[in-house]
Chain A
Amino acid sequence: MMNNDTKMIKVEHLSKSFGNLVVLKDINIEIQKGEIISIIGPSGTGKSTFLRCLNLLEKPTGGSIWIDDKEIMDPKNNANLLRQKMGMVFQNFNLFEHLSVLDNLTIGPIKLLNKTKPEAEEKARELLKLVGLASKEDAFPDELSGGQQQRVAIARCLSMDPEIILFDEPTSALDPTMVSEVLGVIRRLAADGMTMAIVTHEMKFARDLSTRILYMDEGIIYEEGTPEEIFERPQKEKTRAFIHRIRNYFYHIEHTDFDFYGMRSGLEAFCNKHFFNHTEINNLNLIIEETLQLCFREGDVEARNQIIRNTGGLDLTVEYSEQTKEITILFTADAKLQTIINQVADSDGISYIILQGMTKSIDEVIREGRVTLNLLMC
């Protein structure tokens, strides 16, 4: 646990709504000096809004933000001075188009930090060297590539001597060939010990560089942890789905006489969408069919169908991880059913042999009143 001296930002119960749309529900976090925090999560979950609230580009609806133990929204405190401690790098660079690169870097320090022009220019040249653009000081933003403009934006941000830099998707507006040059500069800042909070979709980068990952969803920090914890062992369902880029096919089976063709055509569309090959489609169909065979047609069929019918049916989920390429088939039902794969003594065993042949693992657990069968396809 870090001591209080290193605490830089504290956020308590931060909320933000736009009209009736609640974007941030309840954000609580402390950021310590030297931390590199990556904020990840699906689009539209408030990651950028959170950053914009931190430096009051958006006015929070509720909650409080403390910078160096001073409440930024307290009228007694000078919010502008406190905000100067935070630099921000935007997705679309936001450079002053009418100013040269050098002037983009000196205007802030001269006007807000009362630096002399030579002082500001000396620092600006140092920073341009740092981001690899020493030769571009006289260029105008529109003469530079996207990657170069973003590096200028980072240098401009540094020219204000921030204690922390907030990066709002710094590479998402860039051509893929230019992403690495910007990430390279951010890596360099990390090596120099700069405190940073980065909203990013670059998962490898977030994983390599960060000291902590925040996964945002549902307007809150849904899960947080070290890169290893979040990327290797995400605890919560939505984090797991996001990290492994899991795509789902869901079908609800009410009872034994369900719409088999409807289920199959939905499954086929899902398979085609994710470019499954012919054998994968075949094997997936077989796993589902043989599981249903064991579930509905073995043992005391009448009693089992009754339970399924009376307890809300059987849920089928096919999960496809775009990251690992793994296909997992899940069946869940009320725990009263006891087991999905109902193998009985007089069974010919063919269905189960097929399931074993087509899967890497078959696990069944009963938890919180539900029985779940998890089949990992070969």
Chain B
Amino acid sequence: MEITIDNIAEQTIINIKGRIDTATSPEFEKAIAPVIAGDMKDVIMECKDFEYISSTGLRLFLVLQKSANAKKGSLLIRNMNDDIKNVFNMTGFTALFKFE
């Protein structure tokens, strides 16, 4: 997994490459910690190269969403593949996020 975070103007773009699973979620959690702790309000998750998510990753997405809500900001998920979207659908997560 590879996470890069770009701050462009008011937006924070989190690029996710690879898998967020049991083995890699601690790394993802560490990578997004500054986004959660900081005052970044509008976050975009760029998922073009995002391959796989398990429940451990979903829980961290939820943490990010909660953080955005608390800051009265926004979280937008972009270019997510169908397999991952399917996991969001089946767990009811689709309703909690905004997709593009």
Would B54 and A289 count as touching, CB distance under 8 A? yes
Chain B residue nearest in CB terms to A352 = B55
Of the candidate stretches B9-17, B63-71, B83-91, the one touching chain A is B83-91
Closest to A358 in B: B90
Residue B77 interfacial (CB < 8 Å): no
| Residues of chain B within 8 A of A282, CB atoms compared | 52, 83
Q: Determine the distance from Cα of A282 to Cα of B23 in the docked complex, in whole angstroms.
A: 15
Interface residues of chain B, those whose CB is within 8 Å of chain A, are: 21-23, 52, 54-56, 58-59, 82-83, 87, 90-92
B22 and A278 within 8 A (CB): no
Say whether, besides A350-B91, A353-B91, A354-B91, A290 and B21 are in contact (CB < 8 Å): no
Q: Which of B21, B54, B90 contacts A353 (CB 8 A)?
A: B90
- Determine which of A285, A350, A354, A357 lies in contact with B52 in the assembled complex, contact meaning CB atoms within 8 Å: A285
* Residue among B52, B54, B90 with max Cβ neighbours from chain A (10 Å): B54
28 A–B contacts, CB within 8 A, in A order:
A260-B23, A261-B23, A278-B83, A279-B82, A282-B52, A282-B83, A283-B83, A285-B21, A285-B54, A286-B54, A286-B87, A289-B21, A289-B54, A289-B55, A290-B54, A290-B55, A292-B22, A293-B22, A293-B56, A350-B59, A350-B91, A351-B55, A353-B90, A353-B91, A354-B54, A354-B87, A354-B90, A357-B91
**A261→B23 CA distance, assembly (Å):** 8
Say yes or no for A346: interface residue by CB 8 A criterion. no
A350, B22: Cα distance in complex, Å: 14
Shortest distance from the beta carbon of B36 to any chain A beta carbon, whole Å = 19
Given contacts A260-B23, A292-B22, A357-B91, 6 further A-B pairs with CB under 8 A are A285-B21, A286-B54, A289-B55, A293-B54, A293-B55, A351-B55
Max chain B C-beta neighbours (<10 A), residue from A260, A261, A278, A354: A354
Q: Which residue of A lies closest to B54 (CB)?
A: A289
User: Contact at B55–A350, with CB atoms within 8 Å?
Assistant: yes
With a cutoff of 8 Å between Cβ atoms, the chain A residues found around residue B56 in the complex are 293
Chain A residue at minimum C-beta to C-beta distance from B90: A357
